[in-house]
Structure 1
């Protein structure tokens, strides 16, 4: 079995038209509704999408042999740096669309909650929506953006007590957190894809140099995109760790990492750095990587094939990556 812990909602156009209207009227017309229906959600899953290589969401999963996918909001769409009530309305509509998708395909999808992370409000307020998603809608995890300003200002590092209400909530609810940055507000030096990697790098560095994991011993953190740049640069941090009487690899193993990396050598480096028991199969399929590589004919995000190509993995390690680790963390 393959459980993909890093998937995102494929939504009908009405959800994003709703977002555009919110941004246009700035709340003057009230909350309104995205008008998402079961029929439009089903079409978003089954109809070919030009953005995803002219193939449907479900066909991508079927061809990759993905049995269960954990889906969260499309991060770059979450507009956390906008007006608070707009952020809240859109997050709630998006989470409702995820919940309906899970009801339409109950054997295929599980929900990961997006929180309305406006810096005009507080983390305590963000967790209200998280609690609704987990207790009322049956979601199995949370997605956290470490930069709600979306590049427009500097937020507190994840080591700061500012974030403690989130850690308290997820520990109480007993759900893992997927660290995944959101958009990058212009003007900016980087694209949102590069912003993801930068913020996830900072997230790992902050968590491993703080007391957060000691203060919250049941906290389960998964870092998207293989932990950003940290696995490649771990030697840079090794001397400081050794002076403290620990290896940096041991520190890295306090977190979990997904395999959403699009080359075999990158995935191998991650697995060698932290071990297969700290990694979970994640593809972000369909998404950025859903284009065919003309050299191989494969989809770039065919991460299952990249893992299968790693000849030093044994059957038990592959089972950990594809299934066991996700089952244990998300209680699936």
Structure 2
């Protein structure tokens, strides 16, 4: 149905080529052959400079987005699909920066250069963050995700609810209509992961 792709097998030392390098092309060829997406998600950090979930994960998400902007990977693989977790790291918050950098790099508009192939999940742990994600990123590029025993397992004293209960934020945001919520919860996942329906059908679900 899908794979996880670790862009930093070194565990926080970033010794591998960028995701747009031909080093990764054998994996991409198989992704296209089997029509499966990849979630770009690092493993733990072996580098004490980077807390695994507080820094390394978010750094990796942001780095992947910028690598995709810098390169021309999707010219070679127009059907390739990536899911960048944790709301895309810093990317939605700094979307103007990335639009401007793409412009300086003589790349197409991000909606054409990136958003046919790159998607973001909703593992963002507070209401303002999900509100921003839904306001900045087109709804067709947002997929629901909820860790529940993920990076932050505690209860938010301001709300009385678990930080990582992301469904609450999707339900509460004013930046999504009911139809758009349905896309986030289900429709987009079925489009990005087309083998999902086949797998469920094979199991009689």
- Scaled to the shorter chain, the TM-score interval is 0.7 to 0.9
The one-character-per-residue Cα deviations of 1:233-274 (angstroms, maximum 9, x if unpaired) are 222233343453743455442310101100121112222222
Partners of 1:153 and 1:305 in 2: CA distance: 35
Instruction: Determine the C-alpha separation between the residues in 1 that align with 2:65 and 2:159.
Output: 33
State which of 132, 138, 155 in structure 2 corresponds to 1:275: 138
Q: Is the 8 A contact 1:234 1:248 kept in 2?
A: no
1:220 to partner: Cα distance: 1.0
Matched residue pairs, number? 192
For residue 302 of structure 1, what is the aligned residue in structure 2? Answer: 165
Q: Which residue of structure 1 aligns with residue 49 of structure 2?
A: 189
Contact 2:12–2:50 (Cα < 8 Å) also in 1: no
Cα 1:245–1:177, aligned 2, differ >3 Å: closer, same or farther? closer
TM-score by length of 2: 0.86
Change (3 A) 1:312 1:196: closer
Counterpart position of 1:318: 181
Residue in structure 1 matched with residue 9 of structure 2 by the alignment:
148
Deviates more, 1:248-257 or 1:269-278: 248-257
Distance verdict in 2 for CA 1:252–1:268, change over 3 Å: farther
Partner of 1:217: 78
1:233/1:319 CA distance change after superposition, 3 Å? same
Aligned residue for 2:4, secondary structure, equals: strand
Return the offset for 1:226.
1.1
Consecutive unaligned residues of structure 1, counting only runs of 5 or more, are 1-139
Give the structure 2 partner of residue 247 of structure 1: 109
Identify unmatched segments of 5+ residues in structure 2. Answer: 198-205
Q: In structure 2, what is the equivalent of residue 292 of structure 1? A: 155
**Match runs of 1:105-124 below 5 Å:** none
Residue 293 of structure 1, CA deviation: 1.4
Change (3 A) 1:248 1:170: closer
TM-score, length basis structure 1: 0.55
CA distance in 1, matches of 2:73, 2:171: 35
- Aligned partners of 2:172, 2:97: CA distance in 1, in Å? 29
Pairing 1:1-332 to 2, within 5 Å after superposition? 140-186=1-47, 188-193=48-53, 194-242=55-103, 244=106, 246-248=108-110, 250-254=112-116, 255-331=118-194, 332=197
Residues 258, 282 of structure 1: 8 Å contact kept:
yes
* Counterparts of 1:317 and 1:153, CA distance in 2: 37
SS, match of residue 229 in structure 1: coil
Alignment root-mean-square deviation, CA: 1.7
CA contact (8 A) 1:148 1:155 kept: yes
**Aligned equivalents of 1:256, 1:229: Cα separation in 2:** 14
Query: In 2, are the aligned partners of 1:253 and 1:274 still within 8 Å (CA)?
Result: no
Q: CA deviation at 1:178?
A: 0.5
Residue 285 (structure 1) shift: 2.1
Taking a change above 3 Å as real, the CA distance of residues 260 and 216 of structure 1, as seen in their structure-2 partners, is same
